[in-house]
Amino acid sequence: MRILSGIQPSGALHLGNYYGMMRRALMLQNEGEAVYFIADYHALTTVHDAKALRENVWHVAAAFLACGLDPRRSLLFRQSAVPEVHELAWLLSIVTPVGLLERCHSYKDKIARGIQASHGLFAYPVLMAADILLYQADRVPVGKDQKQHIEVARDLAMKFNHIFGEVFRVPEPDIQETVAVVPGLDGQKMSKSYRNTIELFCSAKATEKKIMAIKTDSTPVEAPKPIEGSLLIAFYRLVATADELQEWIASMQRGGIGYGEYKRQLAAKLNQALEPIRERYLYYENHRDEVWDILKEGGVRARGLAKETLERAREVTGIS
């Protein structure tokens, strides 16, 4: 089984990226051949500063390694190390109905948030389908926000196979329902571009400061706290066992403890969970070239896989 996932180097990684996708994707290293890439062509739809983009690429690669990616078993590379992805995106665009792209909510959300409605942003799902199909992925761990894009990839694979002949495996999304959408500090989806994140790699103090600043209602200390839609519970769920979570919720329902105390407990628990990966990230900050070397080697290996698929796609379309 081949597992594939990617992240855009569009800013500092956050709890949503880790608990929504990375943690699961890295666990799957034990179940098959894993391929992880840094989607720098995609990030260009929002990042227009070359220096920042390069720095973000390094950051995402170091984050993957710090979170447990084993480069001896799994591939890690930059999307741009495999330019073949653009040729495949073109071949797929031939079978892509415009209406399918018009229905993609991620495009509509980004425009509603003021991001320029470029062709790149509109065609993003086609390039993403090429990212997945080029490596013949079976399973694609993602957060729920990406489910629709995986459905587009599946549609395009089936349509292309039907029209031209069998070339692509049809991928399955792998979504962890309990953490499918990690909310941001404003209650919307946590997102690099929405300025509502808790970063993975920042100091314990900075995490605590953000947690302590979460807006809560004016329920008195002794009264039971509302559970529905509680951000504190949504974050605690990421790091607690099922029993711990149940006990926390029961305590809130009993009343008698103020929000300040719950926030302190949450910050301590989060920092404890993140400490090991933050320490490993520090190691890579002191060994920056190791990260670039791993990316370079991964790119060469990924390109070999990509060429095999592209050759078949060229053959069935009559391009070769």
- Binding map of ligand AQP across residues 251-290, x = CB under 6 A, - = no contact: ----------------------------------------
**Under rule CB under 6 A, residue 4 binds ligand AQP:** no
CB-side exposure of 218: number of CA atoms within 13 Å? Answer: 0
Contact status, residue 35 vs residue 171, Cβ threshold 8 Å: no
85 or 167: whose CB is closer to ligand AQP? 85
> Biggest alpha carbon distance in the chain?
74
167 or 302: whose CB is closer to ligand AQP? 302
**Under rule CB under 6 A, residue 131 binds ligand AQP:** no
Sign for the pseudo-dihedral over CA of 213, 215, 220, 223: negative
38 or 167: whose CB is closer to ligand AQP? 38
For residue 133, give both structure tokens.
Answer: 């199909």
Of 184-192, 216-224, 256-264, 292-300, the segment contacting ligand AQP by CB under 6 A is 184-192
Q: Which of 193, 216, 251, 317 binds ligand AQP (CB under 6 A)?
A: 193
Burial of 134 (0-12, 13-18, 19+ CB in 10 A): buried
- Binders of ligand AQP in range 28-57 (CB under 6 A): 39, 46
74 or 191: whose CB is closer to ligand AQP? 191
**Under rule CB under 6 A, residue 238 binds ligand AQP:** no
If one counts every other C-beta atom within 10 angstroms of the C-beta of residue 183, the result is: 16
Which residues, including other chains, have CB under 8 Å from residue 278's CB and lie 6 or more apart?
66, 200, 201
State the nearest-atom distance from the C-beta of 303 to ligand AQP, in Å: 21
- Binders of ligand AQP in range 143-182 (CB under 6 A): 143, 145-146, 181-182
**Under rule CB under 6 A, residue 192 binds ligand AQP:** yes
Binding site for ligand AQP (CB under 6 A): 7-8, 10-11, 16-17, 20-21, 39, 46, 142-143, 145-146, 181-182, 189-193
